[in-house]
Structure 1
Amino acid sequence: MLIKLILHSAFAGFTVFLGGILANFFNHHIKETPVKYEIIHFLMSFGAGIILSAIALVLIPTGMEDLSLSEMAFSFILGTLVFLFIDRYLSKKGGQTATLLAMLMDFIPEAIALGAVFAINPNMGTLLAVFIGLQNLPEAFNAYRDMVQSGYSAQKTLIIFFFLSFCGILGALLGHFVLRDFPSLTAHLMTFASGGILYLLIQEIIPESKLDNNYITSLGASLGFLIGIVGEKLI
């Protein structure tokens, strides 16, 4: 059981590194054309749709199961305010890391949930690992581009992504051995993450994905959300 959990969470995390590799290839080996620009923005909106589906279908429902209204509202508002101040701080430094923050605030709580789920239903855990891995791929692709534009070298960004890919294993082990006995704490974490992610989506990610006189990018957000619906239905 433990080996299976580690392998599944490793897959879910590896797509963070894989998304960075694909973005690196796309940046350096695909010619700069209007079509490339449209693809980039499509993937940005696609990733935003997936992140939004994680909030609506995974993170918030988990919080609603174990928290009272006041507890849930507190965690959600706290997450929003914390990431508002983080975003303001990073904006003053001139960095573009909103997509990376949103990805991690989505990935880590879901990895913790993966560990807790595996203790109860391994088959559901397998589907959840696939769902998380599919989410991480476009999110990491976009986060890589943001970090390179912020001044990080391609090599340094890929090294960061390589080590971040192991967060899935650590989160799953934490959820499996520790937080599965504290469902309210896990619910607070999920709700806190939801507030922060939603703030980053509205403030940073969605505006960046918009292209004038182009409608395919908005379609990408809907398709991204559909991925979340399919994953939740399968789970």
Structure 2
Amino acid sequence: MPQLLTVVLFTLLAGMAMPCGAALASVGRISPGWLEEEFRHGVMAFGGGALLAAVALVLVPEAIDDLSPGWVVLYFSAGGAAFMGVDVLMFRLRTSASQLLAMLADFIPESLALGAAFAFGGEGAVLLALLMALQNLPEGFNAYRELSDATAYSRRQIILTFAAMALLGPLAGVSGYLWLADSPVLVAAIMLFAAGGILYSVFQDIAPQAKLDKHWAPSLGALLGFVLGIIGHMATVA
């Protein structure tokens, strides 16, 4: 399979996890109510675990080889600061699309990095694509619930919108493959920027919302998300 087609396929599959998560969230509510709450929090925690795996196993390790410590700190911190800025803006606008914007904010730079990773030879690219899909599924789930509860958009409208957003993945991936292949330092900066933003989001949005009083199963969701990341990492480096 031509390398460019591989980039399109992997970024599209990672992106289509968003409408798949939305479709899962649109299924009728689970009974009893406590199980519905536990399941929702478990999905959110799973996404947090997958995000942490992406940061710890792919984004940071792949990026730090090409940069000095000072630049690593700068780009990583800039990502966190940028995501915080989006958070503050969303709070002031009181929009119902905060989860949606957070989902796009890490999907697009990750897709750029994924395309560039394939151009560099594919090392770590397959694992990054897997982790992107693992994180996009629960992010799509949570973003659907947020939009469905706060807007009048229909199930079909939200899922089709998420499917259209998935096309941004191949667009960013092909851009990264074609234009960033000769810029490993820039790719490293993008990876660290995304990693800093993701880490901020995990502790600002996902972890606090995933906690459920007197229920401990959701925390296992975070463990499972990270474990799947470890398995993927071991499979790709073997």
Q: Name the counterpart of 2:214.
A: 213
Q: Name the counterpart of 1:146.
A: 146
1:4 equivalent in alignment to 2:35? no
For residue 209 of structure 1, report the CA deviation from its aligned partner.
0.9
Q: Retained in 2: the 8 A contact 1:98–1:204? A: no
Distance 1:191 1:174 in 2: 18
Q: Retained in 2: the 8 A contact 1:49–1:220? A: yes
Q: Deviations over 1:152-185 (max 9, x none)?
A: 6244432331121112211220121111111111
For residue 126 of structure 1, report the CA deviation from its aligned partner.
4.7
1:92 equivalent in alignment to 2:92? yes
Aligned pairs for 1:1-235 within 5 A: 1=2, 2-25=4-27, 28=28, 30-31=30-31, 33-121=33-121, 125-126=125-126, 128-151=128-151, 153=153, 154-235=155-236
TM-score (norm 2): 0.87
1:111 is aligned with what amino acid? Answer: S
Percent identity reads 39
Q: Secondary structure at the match of 1:213?
A: coil
For residue 123 of structure 1, report the CA deviation from its aligned partner.
8.6
Distance 1:97 1:230 in 2: 33
Gaps of 5+ in 1: none
Q: Secondary structure at the match of 1:181?
A: coil
Distance 1:93 1:149 in 2: 17
Distance 1:230 1:99 in 2: 27
Aligned-residue Cα RMSD (Å) equals 2.2
TM-score (norm 1): 0.88
For residue 50 of structure 1, report the CA deviation from its aligned partner.
0.6
Q: Deviations over 1:2-58 (max 9, x none)?
A: 333322322222111211111112xx3545621111111111111111111111111
1:93 is aligned with what amino acid? Answer: L
Q: Retained in 2: the 8 A contact 1:76–1:191? A: yes
For residue 80 of structure 1, report the CA deviation from its aligned partner.
1.5
Q: Deviations over 1:102-143 (max 9, x none)?
A: 433432233223322333546964554344323321221122
For residue 60 of structure 1, report the CA deviation from its aligned partner.
1.3
Q: Retained in 1: the 8 A contact 2:118–2:125? A: yes
Q: Retained in 1: the 8 A contact 2:23–2:159? A: yes
Distance 2:97 2:172 in 1: 21
Q: Retained in 2: the 8 A contact 1:16–1:136? A: yes
Cα distance 1:198–1:97, how it changes in 2: closer, same or farther (>3 A)? Answer: farther
Gaps of 5+ in 2: none
For residue 215 of structure 1, report the CA deviation from its aligned partner.
0.7
Cα distance 1:125–1:197, how it changes in 2: closer, same or farther (>3 A)? Answer: closer
Q: Secondary structure at the match of 2:209?
A: helix
Distance 1:167 1:138 in 2: 18
Cα distance 1:168–1:212, how it changes in 2: closer, same or farther (>3 A)? Answer: same
Cα distance 1:168–1:152, how it changes in 2: closer, same or farther (>3 A)? Answer: farther
How many pairs align? 233
Q: Secondary structure at the match of 2:79?
A: helix
Q: Retained in 1: the 8 A contact 2:41–2:218? A: yes
